[in-house]
Every structure is written in structure tokens, then in C-alpha cells.
Structure 1
């Protein structure tokens, strides 16, 4: 009987150690890798520059209305930060709208795309490549459109904001 008590004590210690480790890891990871919860706001280290790419991977919600990905100059709400580019996927119209907002003034909205790339309940990969005169936007590896810079100081574009009907699985 004494042997079984010792065995069960050893098992408890092992289980406790295992539980502590599994509970400790995610908490520790959150400190270094904040959870990708929508709405999301994150810092782009060093801002944008030609050759730099922003990657957003996620899954569209099951019954989406819209979602937006914006690159902004800071995260100020009042006054609102300048928006270098906002990509807004609108599922009712199957449109991918692009615009900017500088000093509170929206620019000319662009909507022409060869096809609508997002499917409800399916994963996607958006890459926004910064080139000297423009952003080049790829969805699932296919170039969809170019958006010419309306903010000339690229390094000021240092924040990414994501909101709407999607889950983010990876940012890079």
C-alpha cells in the first residue's frame, strides 16, 4: 500500500509539472507575441520603405459583410492618423475598395479589380509590397492592383490596423 501512495505522489508531481509548463507557456508567449485579436492595431518596426512587405494571413468569417486592412501614420484617434492605404473587402458588392485619408480628407476611391479574391470561411494571404512609387497588393500570390503613394514620407507609415469579419492567423 505504501508503494502505491508513493507512485501516486510521483504521478501528481509529474502532472503538476506538466500543467504548470503548459499553462506557463501561452502566458509567456503573449508577452512576446500579442494575440492577433480583431480589431487589431500593431506597430510596423521602422515604418515602410521600398522593398518592405507586410503580410496578413487570416480566415474570412462564415457570413462576412466586410473587413479592412489599413496602413497608417501612427495610431492616433483624435485627430485621426493619416491613412496611407485602406483595403476594404465588401462581400455584398464583391468589391475590394482602396483609399487614403490625409489630414481628415479622403482621397479618390479605387475599386477596379480583375476578380474578387475572398471566399467566406476560407483562408487568405494578403501581401502589401512597398515600392518607390506605389504599394503593390497580392492576394494568395496573385497581383491584384497597384496603389500609388499619396503619403510621400514612407517611414511615417508605421501602424497596421485590421478590423471586420475575419480572424488573423499570421502577421509578418
Structure 2
């Protein structure tokens, strides 16, 4: 019994199909995946809780100075909304500073990280996993640091704010 090949591809055929792909050019891809605007402020449905994860994907700016990501209790700029975590990437000294503000008082800043993960003009993926005692933060799939909760009522943490030298491509 002789078996016939189910599919056979000619290299030219494969290449021509790629060229006709509707997402083949960056201009067309921009239409399907519009950039999120910075500064960004968005609501976290139901607030934070253990097991919930925030995903932030983007591209660092060409000549970045800094950018920051905040998880806050409310989105008001007038009243001092509690800041559960603020992460500020400083490119001049390659630091990722973290802090929290509870009842109008900023706590002790944390800065220790094993390496600085952000590179100018390069994509990144930040995942903030909420666990019972802490936020666990991953960048590009690698755990970078833990930040222990200073805001006690996790469900009150209902806003994400992003600002600085970056483009956002996806939030989830």
C-alpha cells in the first residue's frame, strides 16, 4: 500500500500566502491593534484579590527618562487616594523604585532588583500577581521582586495608572 502525502507545499506558495496576510504590514496591524494612550487610567473590575493578575504590555520609548505604573484606591487626583504600589523605572541610573502611600503618607522606598529589565525601544511584559501577603511582579516571564501589601483592603485597589516614556500595546 502506497501512502500519498496529504499536503505538499512549494516554497513560493508559502511565501505568497504570507505576503497576502491581512496583518502583513505594520500599517494594517495598527488598525487592528490600536495603541492605548499614555497617560492611562483604567478601572480594575472588582478590585484586587489574591489570585488576580494585572498584565501590562508595551514598548519602552526611544530615549526614555522614566515611566511609572501605579495601582491605586480610586482614580481621584484631588484627594490623596491610597497608592497600593507605585513602580517607577528610572533609566538614568537603571533603577526600579517601589513604594506605597497610605493615608497620605509615603512609606519606605524599595529599590533592590537583580537586574534592570527595560531597554529603550524594546517591548516588555509586566505581570503583577496579587497574593495574600504581597504583589509578586514578573517582567518578561522572570520574577523581579515581591512587594508586601501596605494597603490592607485589597478590594479597594481598583485603578491602574500608567505614565511616562512608553507605548502601551495591551492591558489585561
The answer to whether residue 166 in structure 2 is matched with residue 171 in structure 1 is no
Higher Cα radius of gyration: 1
Structure 2: gaps spanning 5 or more residues: 1-30
| C-alpha separation in 2, matches of 1:121 and 1:171 | 19
Q: How many residues align?
A: 142
1:21-48, Cα deviation, whole Å (9 max, x unpaired): xxxxx7xx9xxx9961000000000000
The answer to whether residue 96 in structure 2 is matched with residue 96 in structure 1 is yes
The structure that is helix-richer by fraction is 1
Tell me the CA shift for residue 104 of structure 1: 1.4
Aligned to 1:7: none
| C-alpha separation in 2, matches of 1:73 and 1:101 | 10
Aligned to 2:21: none
| C-alpha separation in 2, matches of 1:88 and 1:111 | 10
| SS in structure 1 at match of 2:155 | helix
Structure 1: gaps spanning 5 or more residues: 1-25
After superposition, the Cα gap between the structure-2 partners of 1:164 and 1:152, relative to the gap in structure 1 and judged at 3 Å, is same
Q: TM-score, normalised by structure 1?
A: 0.80
The answer to whether residue 154 in structure 2 is matched with residue 154 in structure 1 is yes
| SS in structure 2 at match of 1:89 | strand
| Runs of 4 or more consecutive aligned structure 1 residues displaced over 3 Å after TM superposition | none
Aligned to 2:7: none
